[in-house]
């Protein structure tokens, strides 16, 4: 069995906007969600910037009792999912619950709860920690809350493959529907790791960007000669995926067709990106979508602004697309929303889907000094409108070597 899979609902909580419309408008306007941190532990950090969601108010969505059992990353996932379900006008009857599931991605799950527990036990010598610490912090908590809220009795899986976690979640959810195991899937990712311990760990790895002295919002500079690293972010994104026939029958709004996906492993190095592995994944996703390189009108790049990563991705695009690589607009929206780790693949795929819907391409901001080794069309600093797009691609390349590529195209019944 091979069925067509369409996208019927979108929901997002991100540093660049907390609705799909706000998110895409801010991307097109080149507005950065990166800012100086104002948290209580900022003085203990060397890197004092992040892409935080400062306007997220849990009390506006959950009762005090609910908040005792729902961690920040799960809260964001639930809010994003509610947007997506409402956007899709999704209603399931009793016969459909077992054919609907949820796949989510996250790197650290409830990082805040874990860290609070460590502080109580190891710093304050307090043997008593939150009774629900395990349930708050487990990686699959967000997916479980979504399953419970919407009574989804089909597959419920959380993927943790570093930066590609939520791209894998979306891709594997697509396969569930494509091959007949499910009819509807909620798919995406959530991350909330802006904690002292997590940020100190990333500082130690020496991959975080230093604050731009003139403009903190310009600190992430993908594909730029003066780039110096990534900026950590937080948030969640959830998409509603459906069997195309079901969506048509109920008269659903369709953003596009999820037409291609593949994942693979570099199998070479735990942190060093590998253009050969990335190229294999891109070509496999194109084959799955039954598309040619010339069919892709826009690529949302992984584009983390690390020295090696941006060069290897540029090489991979040239290897996969040949001469076409120079004709395709490519942008890194991480320049605006930061790197949301386990949530970033879903956030960036959503950006690509919205580009397809609006026939517009968001920019890579802060690209004032192009790196000669990154010589493709990286849509420097200003978005483009009225761009004829029939198919778009989103790349996610992770520490550990797990690569994922997603392709969406305009849906024609």
Among the listed residues 163, 220, 263, 374, the single catalytic one is 163
Q: Is 337 one of the annotated active-site residues of the chain?
A: no
| Contacting residues for 120 by C-beta, under 8 A, at least 6 apart | 126, 128, 129
Q: Is 151 one of the annotated active-site residues of the chain?
A: no
In three-state form (DSSP H/G/I as H, E/B as E, the rest C), the secondary structure along 220-288 is CCCCECCCCCECEECEEEEEEEEEHHHHHHCCCCCCEEEEEEEEEECCCCCCCCCHHHHHHHHHHHHHH
Closest CA to 84 of 234, 235, 237: 237
Query: Beta strands of 23-152 (E only): which ranges?
Result: 35-36, 49-50, 100-105
Cite the DSSP H helix spans in 89-226: 111-118, 133-137, 141-150, 165-178, 196-205
Among the listed residues 145, 302, 337, 358, the single catalytic one is 302
10 Å Cβ neighbour count for 410?
17
DSSP state of 131: T
Q: Is 179 one of the annotated active-site residues of the chain?
A: no
Alpha-carbon torsion angle 387, 23, 185, 148, nearest 10: -170
Among the listed residues 145, 337, 339, 358, the single catalytic one is 339
Which residues are annotated as catalytic? Answer: 163, 302, 339
């Amino acid at each position: 069995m091979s069925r067509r899979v369409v996208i019927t609902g979108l929901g997002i909580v991100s540093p660049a906007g907390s609705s799909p419309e706000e998110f895409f408008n801010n991307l097109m306007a080149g507005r950065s969600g990166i800012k100086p941190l104002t948290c209580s532990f900022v003085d203990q950090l060397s890197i004092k910037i992040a892409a935080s969601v400062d306007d997220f108010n849990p009390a506006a969505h959950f009762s005090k009792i609910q908040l005792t059992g729902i961690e920040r990353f799960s809260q964001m996932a639930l809010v994003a999912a509610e947007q997506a379900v409402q956007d899709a006008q999704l209603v399931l009857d009793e016969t459909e619950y077992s054919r609907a599931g949820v796949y989510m991605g996250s790197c650290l799950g409830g990082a805040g709860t874990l860290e609070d527990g460590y502080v109580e036990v190891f710093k304050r010598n307090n043997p008593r920690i939150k009774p629900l610490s395990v349930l708050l912090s487990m990686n699959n908590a967000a997916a479980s809350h979504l399953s419970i809220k919407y009574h989804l009795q089909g597959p419920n899986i959380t993927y943790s493959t570093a930066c590609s976690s939520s791209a894998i979640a979306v891709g594997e959810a697509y396969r569930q529907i494509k091959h007949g195991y499910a009819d509807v899937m909620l798919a995406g990712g959530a991350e909330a790791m802006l904690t002292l311990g997590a940020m100190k760990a990333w500082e130690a790895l020496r991959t975080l960007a230093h604050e731009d002295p003139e403009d903190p919002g310009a600190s992430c500079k993908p594909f730029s000669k003066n780039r110096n690293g990534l900026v950590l972010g937080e948030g969640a994104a959830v998409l509603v995926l459906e069997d195309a026939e079901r969506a048509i029958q109920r008269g659903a709004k369709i953003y596009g067709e999820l037409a291609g996906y593949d994942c693979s492993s570099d199998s070479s190095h735990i942190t060093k990106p590998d253009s050969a592995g990335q190229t294999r994944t891109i070509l496999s996703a194109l084959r799955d979508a039954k598309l040619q390189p010339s069919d892709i009108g826009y690529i949302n790049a992984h584009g983390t602004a690390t020295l090696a990563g941006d060069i290897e991705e540029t090489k991979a695009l040239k290897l996969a697309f040949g001469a076409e690589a120079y004709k395709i607009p490519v942008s890194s929206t991480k320049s605006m929303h930061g790197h949301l780790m386990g949530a970033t693949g879903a956030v960036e795929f959503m950006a690509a889907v919205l580009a397809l819907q609006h026939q517009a391409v968001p920019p890579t901001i802060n690209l004032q000094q192009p790196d000669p080794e990154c010589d493709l069309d990286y849509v420097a600093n200003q978005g483009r409108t009225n761009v004829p797009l029939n198919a778009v691609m989103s790349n996610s390349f992770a520490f550990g070597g797990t690569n994922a590529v997603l392709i969406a195209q305009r849906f024609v019944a």
